[in-house]
Chains A and B, each alone.
Chain A
Amino acid sequence: MVKADGCVAIHADGGAYKPLNWMNAPNTIAEITDGDPRQWVITNPKKETLTITLYEVISDSAHELGDDPGLQKDGVEAHLQELLATSPHTIEDGLTLVRREYPTAIGPIDLVCRDPDNVVVAIEVKRRGDIDGVEQLARYIERLELDSSLGAIRGVFVAQSIKPQAKVLAESRGFTWVEVDYDTLRGIAPDELRLF
């Protein structure tokens, strides 16, 4: 398998994600077609070479997969939401949880809290904060505002890391944003006090 960045990996039927042999990018691939069987010679900047001899070609195809969308791990996001629900004060001082997964007609809001002035705070939790997440929060708040009994509603966008564009958009929508550290949150055993 030759990836777009130039790295080469030789896989077998077994061994899951682990290749039998590989050469990391950057490197150059030379295809030697005059001999029989054909050979690929991959050379890296250290002049190390990986020579692959092709005895039989069953299929040879190339596919463009586009930009790397990044890995979204749902488990972490759900756990992050859980941790923040048990200690909402890490988002903002004085917050108390009203409900996790607060239902609306367009889907549940991650966390709904109240601040010390009793104002409803809608919180969207993401691992990686980008513009989509801010838009999502805006849609939820629109829905919540239809319920006049809730009064004024604030929005807070929470993620492990938030892209600069998402920060600008959140601020322009009147939301606040907070970056939280997952490992630190995990380390906060809610009630266990430590000596050091």
Chain B
Amino acid sequence: MKFRCEREILAEALATAGRAATSRSGTLPVLSGVRLDVKDGDLTVTGTDLELTIRLSVHVHSDQNGSAVVPARLVADIVKALPAGAVEVSIADDEMSISAGRSQFSVRPLSLSDYPAQVEPGGEPVTLASAEVGNALRQVVRAASTDDARAVLTGVLIASEDDGLKMVATDSYRLAVRNLPQSSILATGQKVLVPGRALAELQRILSGDDELTVRLGTREAVFEVGATRLTTRLIEGEYPNYRNLLPSSHPNILTVGREALLEALRRVKILAQDSTPVRLTLGGDTLQLTAITQDVGNAAEEIDASYDGAEMTVAFNPDYLAAGIDAIDGDEITLATMDPMKPAVLRGVGHDEYLYLLMPVRVP
């Protein structure tokens, strides 16, 4: 195999596919590599850890077709470090040579025959607007759990409903729900659980005005954007009934500027150390945020707000609260609560398609 490619393009392709390659020991050693296939001017780079596969093609100037598996991390680091301009790559039996300008590297490839075969996607392709899906992923994926102990919660539920698509994620402390009206990739009533990690990668791949093509199988989901294809295994299991968690009424509603709240929280949070919460004192036309860390100090800030309800103090994990406010679209947000021990609901004013439910923290 022999090809020539611009450094930027090659580095980007290696980095993207390399994110699906595994660095975990104990798995198949060849999975720490990326597979390169050169065919008539197209280089295809594939990375997989058997759960998630990322494959993309770029145009190169090829002299000789061929396939090889090379160490993902090492080769990506080399290409990234090369001087700008064209990079020449050639791979013979047991040597990969990479050169650019006066730099010259030679790397041992991994075993091509050990690399798992890639399955071509089945299922009906459905096209979605990538900008809208990208924003929905940004809002929802953050609430998915990263704790493998409860695998179901590491997924994002994508469910088809009468009025379109619903995306749901929760880590049992918070819950994000996003509606995508008029989008349909599933039969009505059907639902799948897609790993949050795969969707976080998809979010990075989605850009600009590209169209996103989705194919949902029974065991895997395939997402295609331009020349990049992401395949992920679906999570099996029963998702918690999140509808029961959504409170039916909220007697207390706070309306506050999104940016002002986020800024104030960012400052006050500095003194919410060692997982101490940030307290929100609700009442009148100001919102007070306070944080107290024993033996360290405390912080307080007041911001203008309008509040309709009983006076109370409710406390939250500052990171979870900030993540929720950050996810919301619009200039103003509402925080609706029942009492300091019940989940609070954050929404953007005029943006009913998204809600972020957050459990408070008990404070004395």
B174 interface residue per 8 A CB criterion: yes
Number of interface residues of A (CB under 8 A): 7
> Is residue A195 within 8 Å, beta carbon to beta carbon, of the partner chain?
yes
- Is there contact, CB below 8 Å, between A193 and B175? no
B9 at the interface (CB under 8 A from A): no
Contacts of A193 in B (CB 8 A): 341, 359-362
> Please, which residues of chain B bring their CB within 8 A of the CB of A195?
170, 172-175, 245, 343, 357, 359
* A196 vs B152: C-alpha distance when bound (angstroms): 13
Q: How far is the CB of B320 from chain A (nearest CB, A)?
A: 10
Q: How far is the CA of A194 from the CA of B173 in the complex (A)?
A: 5
Q: Which chain A positions have C-beta within 8 A of B317?
A: 192
By the criterion CB–CB under 8 Å, are A196 and B277 in contact? no
Q: CB of A191 within 8 A of chain B?
A: yes
Whole-angstrom distance between the Cβ of A193 and the nearest chain B Cβ: 5
Across the interface, name the chain B residue whose C-beta is closest to A194: B172
Alpha-carbon distance A190/B277, docked complex (angstroms): 13
Contact-residue bracket for chain B: 10 to 19
A116 CA to B187 CA, complexed, in Å = 59
* Cβ of B144 to closest chain A Cβ, rounded Å: 13
Is B240 engaged at the interface, CB distance under 8 Å to the other chain?
yes
Minimum Cβ distance to chain A for residue B99 (Å): 43
B363 in contact (CB, < 8 A): yes
Say whether B170 contacts A191, CB under 8 Å: no
Q: Within 8 Å CB of B172, what residues of A?
A: 194-196
Residue of A nearest to B360 (CB): A193
B164-188: contact bitstring with A at CB < 8 Å (1 yes, 0 no)? 0000001011110000000000000
A192-B173, A192-B361, A195-B170 known, 18 other contacts, Cβ within 8 Å: A190-B362, A191-B277, A191-B361, A191-B362, A191-B363, A192-B317, A192-B362, A193-B341, A193-B360, A193-B361, A194-B172, A194-B359, A195-B172, A195-B173, A195-B245, A195-B359, A196-B240, A196-B245
Residues on A close to B: CB < 8 A?
Answer: 190-196
Q: Enumerate 11 A-B pairs (CB-CB under 8 Å) in ascending A order.
A: A191-B361, A191-B363, A192-B361, A193-B341, A193-B359, A193-B360, A193-B361, A193-B362, A195-B170, A195-B172, A196-B172
